[in-house]
Structure 1
Amino acid sequence: MDRVLVTGISGFLGGHVALQLLNSGYFVRGSVRNLSKATKVRDTLARAGSDVSRLEVVELDLLSDAGWDAAMKGVRYLQHTASPFSLETPKDPQDLIRPAVGGTERALNSALAADVERIVLTSSTAAITYGHPQNRRRFSSDDWTQLEGGQVPAYQQSKALAERRAWAIMDAAGRHGDLAVINPSGIFGPLLDEDPGTSAQLVSMLLGGRMPVLPRLGINPIDVRDVAEAHLRAMTASEAGGRRHPMAVNGYYLADAARILRQHYSSRRVPTALIPDWLVRLAAIAVPMMRPIVDELGEAKMVDTSAALSLLNRPFVTADDAILATAESLIANGIV
């Protein structure tokens, strides 16, 4: 069976991609930033039911050239899921942009040098829907986040710049059709370990009483199992090459997540009250952590997901089910 390199295997999505690859019979070479994480990665995937005899773990850093060429030896497919993400806005946007863009360059250039057959890149709807006029609410895979004007938050910049760099590298090599990009919105669903990742922190805040009111925020969640499966299918499906695949359950709000959590966890202090948009904007002036959500207030953004649905050949897991799976994992792991 073929060998696949999964960068960022210790991450939420990277772990699920590796899990599905191992369960499909592939040999997996997973990268971590520090080999001290190797035992935990193995234990986590074994606990989830994978045969980890087909798993090896290597050390790669998005900001270092060391090890990339060696990691590509014998690899047929690359799954580049590694990228920094934080709910908080860093003081220096380059803290997110440098590793995102530099890591993409290192991963793709090494893959091309090793003649890897297909590269699947994890991007985001953040590379599509930001920097547009506030009344723009519908988007397709042809749209790109507009970085002019300096109003786009650092994470969204990092995803847009990294994906643009990926396409530029592939085009320069004459291999546009050998790159497939998956563009998920906020990823929710079952955790593989006690690390809640980033999007799951929203559910943790709702369940843990740390969010007393609800901003009118569209989150359009997508289940991690769907995103991982899309990565696997994009690796071998001829029609996936040279395309972007936005993934989101459109029209779903933070208030919808609170609703389903209240129904299933009535003993917890899940908020019910909505806070006006103007008050969130005012608060964001003083609270930097709130600034990235200002652009998301109001009507939920809608993204054309037809390419991903065609790739999966089935509907997405429902947003309610993705949120509940997140909650169940958070509680089972003692996080909330």
Structure 2
Amino acid sequence: MIRSRSNAVADSVLVTGVTGFLGAHVAQALLRRGLKVIGSARTQAKGAAVRNALSAEGADISRLRIVPLDLMKDDGWEEAAGSSAYTIHTASPFQLEMPADPDALIRPAIQGTRRALDAALAAGHRRIVVTSSLCAIDGGRRDDSVRLGPHDWAELEGEDVNAYMRSKTLAEREAWTIADRAGARDRLVVINPGTMLGPLIDDDPGTSARTIQRMLRGKVPMAPDMVLPYVDVRDVAEAHVEAMLGPNAGGQRFIVSNPAEPLIAIADGLRADLPERAAKLPKRRMPDWLTRIVARFDRSLSSNRAYLGVRRHYDLSGGIALLQRALIPTRVAALATAQSLIQRRLA
């Protein structure tokens, strides 16, 4: 049974994973627009930390409420959804080094998506926005002559498909299956972002900023030929809000990213923009033969070898249309990451 939305919750948004890099930026974007946010956190301490961090950024945290939700448990989901009119589901486990057991990423991703969708649909939410990933589109694909778009899906039997690619692909497919089964496809929107960079909201660099952090610390003497699509987290957060509010966004997937760039291009940009850090930043691309050797001892490199040397191309028009403007360039996003790390004395 679908419940009607009362005026008390009509401007409230359930944001899962509000303590994460993206989740905190989504909450900030919503609060900036005068909306109320019910943010999920796994622990009270994490919830308090994100409240303090958002307050320090100037957000009005009087409209932010933290609730405990677990991707693997039913407790609290019905109540949280019943207190809001929209869901933005950003919560999903992510790490650079793939776990020995792939289910450590896959099971929480799928079960969390199922709980978020089921609760939101039962509560009659107007729009449900799910954070997927570009890897749910390009995973397992190595043909650089193909222009990948929102109608493409990862080939999970393809070469070098890791647990994270599987988790995001299977979780997104689960979201569409649930929406279709409920006859609510037009209420679901999925955002497929590239690798997120941009300013930190707290002192936890998380996974996304770790590569920039390592380069600034001089831990990357040569840059592997890692070619990734990058995007500023602020654009991804705004895309979620636009997808939630846009009357014509329902039932669509949106790629939100800049074109793919090699890691050495990121390093070159940082060297030019931060000359005082130039000596620590890599100046050369690592030869492929050396990369293969290093990957035997570097789990983060071996876990992401699918992006080594492959120049993928994407149809990026959907994200631009959703935001109705050009995206923040990758070089600007990388510099914002680096400046945040330096200002917070994390690099």
**TM class by shorter-chain length?**
over 0.9
* 8 A contact 1:137–1:300 mirrored in 2: no
5+ long unaligned stretches in structure 1: none
* Cα distance in 1 between the residues matched to 2:260 and 2:299: 26
* Cα distance in 2 between the residues matched to 1:285 and 1:136: 29
Deviation of 1:150 after TM superposition, in Å, equals 7.4
1:116 paired residue among 125, 130, 141: 125
Deviation of 1:208 after TM superposition, in Å, equals 0.7
TM alignment of 1:10-89, pairs within 5 A: 10-89=19-98
* 8 A contact 2:136–2:165 mirrored in 1: yes
* Structure 1 residue ranges, 4+ long, deviating more than 4 angstroms after superposition: 134-137
* 8 A contact 1:250–1:300 mirrored in 2: no
Deviation of 1:34 after TM superposition, in Å, equals 1.0
* Cα distance in 2 between the residues matched to 1:38 and 1:215: 37
* 8 A contact 1:280–1:294 mirrored in 2: no
2:326 paired residue among 312, 315, 319: 315
* 8 A contact 1:84–1:99 mirrored in 2: yes
* Cα distance in 1 between the residues matched to 2:155 and 2:268: 33
Deviation of 1:135 after TM superposition, in Å, equals 4.4
TM-score if structure 1 supplies the norm length?
0.97
AA aligned to 2:287 is P
* Cα distance in 2 between the residues matched to 1:324 and 1:75: 36
* 8 A contact 2:50–2:202 mirrored in 1: no
AA aligned to 1:259 is D
* 8 A contact 2:192–2:256 mirrored in 1: yes
TM-score if structure 2 supplies the norm length?
0.94
Corresponding residue number in structure 2 for 1:331: 342
* 8 A contact 1:246–1:305 mirrored in 2: yes
Per-residue deviation, residues 263-286 of structure 1 (Å, max 9, x unmatched) = 122232101011122332343244
* 8 A contact 2:239–2:256 mirrored in 1: no
* Cα distance in 2 between the residues matched to 1:243 and 1:270: 40
Corresponding residue number in structure 2 for 1:295: 306
* Cα distance in 1 between the residues matched to 2:25 and 2:336: 14
TM alignment of 1:83-232, pairs within 5 A: 83-135=92-144, 138-148=147-157, 151-232=160-241
1:243 paired residue among 237, 252, 257: 252
Deviation of 1:35 after TM superposition, in Å, equals 1.6
Deviation of 1:62 after TM superposition, in Å, equals 0.4
Corresponding residue number in structure 1 for 2:5: none
* Cα distance in 2 between the residues matched to 1:205 and 1:12: 18
Per-residue deviation, residues 306-330 of structure 1 (Å, max 9, x unmatched) = 1111010000001110000000000
Matched residue SS, 2:67: strand
Matched residue SS, 2:229: coil
* Cα distance in 1 between the residues matched to 2:58 and 2:329: 24
* 8 A contact 1:5–1:75 mirrored in 2: yes
Change (3 A) 1:218 1:194: same
* 8 A contact 1:220–1:248 mirrored in 2: yes
Matched residue SS, 1:221: strand
Deviation of 1:38 after TM superposition, in Å, equals 2.1
Deviation of 1:248 after TM superposition, in Å, equals 1.5
Per-residue deviation, residues 51-94 of structure 1 (Å, max 9, x unmatched) = 11111000000011111001111311100000000011100000
Corresponding residue number in structure 1 for 2:267: 258
How many pairs are equivalent? 336
Deviation of 1:298 after TM superposition, in Å, equals 1.6
* Cα distance in 2 between the residues matched to 1:26 and 1:144: 33
AA aligned to 1:281 is R
Deviation of 1:29 after TM superposition, in Å, equals 0.3
Deviation of 1:216 after TM superposition, in Å, equals 1.4
AA aligned to 1:320 is R
* Cα distance in 1 between the residues matched to 2:75 and 2:116: 11
AA aligned to 2:261 is Y
* 8 A contact 1:215–1:280 mirrored in 2: yes
* Cα distance in 1 between the residues matched to 2:68 and 2:312: 38
Deviation of 1:125 after TM superposition, in Å, equals 0.2
Per-residue deviation, residues 7-35 of structure 1 (Å, max 9, x unmatched) = 00000100000001011000110000112
5+ long unaligned stretches in structure 2: 1-9
Matched residue SS, 2:268: helix
Change (3 A) 1:150 1:161: farther
